[in-house]
Chains A and B, each alone.
Chain A
Amino acid sequence: MLESRMLLVLAIAGIMLSCRQDMHDQPRFEPLEMNSFFADGRSSRPLVAGTVARGQLNLDEHLYQGKVNGQLATTFPFEITASVLTRGQERYDIYCAPCHDVVGTGQGMIVQRGFRPPPSFHIDRLRNAPPGHFFDVISNGLGAMYDYSERVKVRDRWAISAYIRVLQLSQNTAIEDVPAEVLKDLSTE
């Protein structure tokens, strides 16, 4: 009788002990998981300053810095196709429209909530600004605007710059410059 009771207790203890989560939480780190080994508690280690990964030396001044011979680039570093503009529109609507609004007048939702209004893209100074200017501001920030270099990739920054040109044209085109077939569509709607 005593022996069978002992067995029962052992079995219950065994079941309770087996309720561990070792397989659920294995000794490796998921992205951004905490690690008490380091003083700052991060398992994802910050890069040592000046680190350059293989193949990421990024020497192309035009593509990566938006400059040619130290001056803001007046051209795009790659061909702007319809798909680049579509991508630019998508990225603009995600990252820029909250403040600059979808047309670029600088009255987005965040501005309506009290953020310092950015200038409209439809002023002469910005209509005449070279593409490199927009790339530079996205990459390095300006005034109250933080930089978006971690959030928006290099090619996407150029796509957004190109799309800003589209927005500017959309608000500042003489009726004579609109192609006849587009005009027909517009007037029938």
Chain B
Amino acid sequence: MAQIFHPSMNTFSKVTIFGSVFMIAGALWFFLTVERSSYVTQAKVVREQPVPFSHKHHVADLGIDCRYCHTSVEETAFAGIPPTKTCMTCHSQIHATAGMLEPVRESWRTGKSIEWVRVHDLPDFVYFNHSIHLKKGVACETCHGPVGEMALTWRENSLNMEWCLDCHRDPESNVRPREEVFTLDWHPKTEQAVLGARLVEDYDIQNLTNCSICHR
């Protein structure tokens, strides 16, 4: 009877049996790395917008408060995208003929919406509310990053669940006084561990890690 297997199969079978652990682990590692990379999460990736709006210019250079445009952030779940009228409040006179702003003026003339590209979009199975985070001392920049440095807007964080949980499990390291939640580039004057522990106490912040807190 002829040989069914070639002698090299001895080595091959040994490698596959002993190597399978590493191969499975490697595949898992690869999958998780891709999942957390900005290729999937879009973190730090600048979005093309119909008008190249600069938060850096409006926030850092001019000193306009976040709430001037995002009016509903303190009272509702949704921070609000400003209507064209908010842009035109200044741009009816400033850069009133700039070609870059033509989509804004066209929207103002015709009443058609400017189709801004959404930068932060949580999955629909997640409930999120801006107002409660502000009231508990979570600042804009804690999640949205250095908005004052964004000439074009990007998503600072992955918005992955593990990122949410990092803070929900450890609010002490992330909260700040309510009066400072709209301040950019804020640094605690006392040690964050001491301040955070006190604020968690004062604001009655709980470690809300129950599934149904967000998946409701």
Contacts and interface: CB of A to CB of B under 8 A. Distances in A.
Interface residues of B, number: 27
Given A24-B125, A25-B124, A115 B93 contact: yes
B169 interface: no
Given A24-B124, A110-B90, A116-B93, A41 B113 contact: yes
Interface string B79-99: 011010110111011100000
A116 B88 CA distance: 14
B112 A40 contact: yes
Contact of B123 (A23, A41, A114, A144): A23
Interface string A123-162: 0000000000000000000001110001100000000000
A48 B111 CA distance: 15
Contacts of A116: 93
Given A24-B123, A41-B113, A146-B85, A114 B68 contact: no
A8 interface: no
A37 B95 CA distance: 35
Interface in A80-129: 93-95, 98, 109-110, 113-116
Interface in B175-211: none
Contacts of A24: 123-125
A113 B86 CA distance: 17
A26 B125 contact: yes
B78 A146 contact: no
Interface in B129-152: none
A31 interface: yes
Interface in A57-71: none
B158 to A, nearest CB: 14
A186 interface: no
A45 B80 CA distance: 15
A24 B67 CA distance: 28
Nearest to B116: A32
**Chain A residues touching B, majority SS:** loop
A94 B93 contact: no
A23 B124 contact: yes
Nearest to A114: B94
B68 A150 contact: no
B83 A34 contact: no
Contacts of B102: none
B65 A93 contact: yes
A150 B85 contact: yes
A93 B124 CA distance: 35
A30 interface: yes
A28 interface: yes
A41 B113 CA distance: 8
B71 interface: yes
Given A115-B94, A144-B92, A151 B71 contact: yes
Interface of A: 23-26, 28, 30-32, 34, 40-42, 93-95, 98, 109-110, 113-116, 144-146, 150-151
Given A26-B124, A40-B113, A150-B85, 19 more contacts: A23-B123, A23-B125, A24-B125, A25-B123, A26-B125, A30-B124, A32-B81, A40-B112, A98-B62, A98-B63, A98-B64, A98-B68, A109-B62, A110-B62, A114-B93, A144-B93, A146-B88, A146-B89, A150-B71
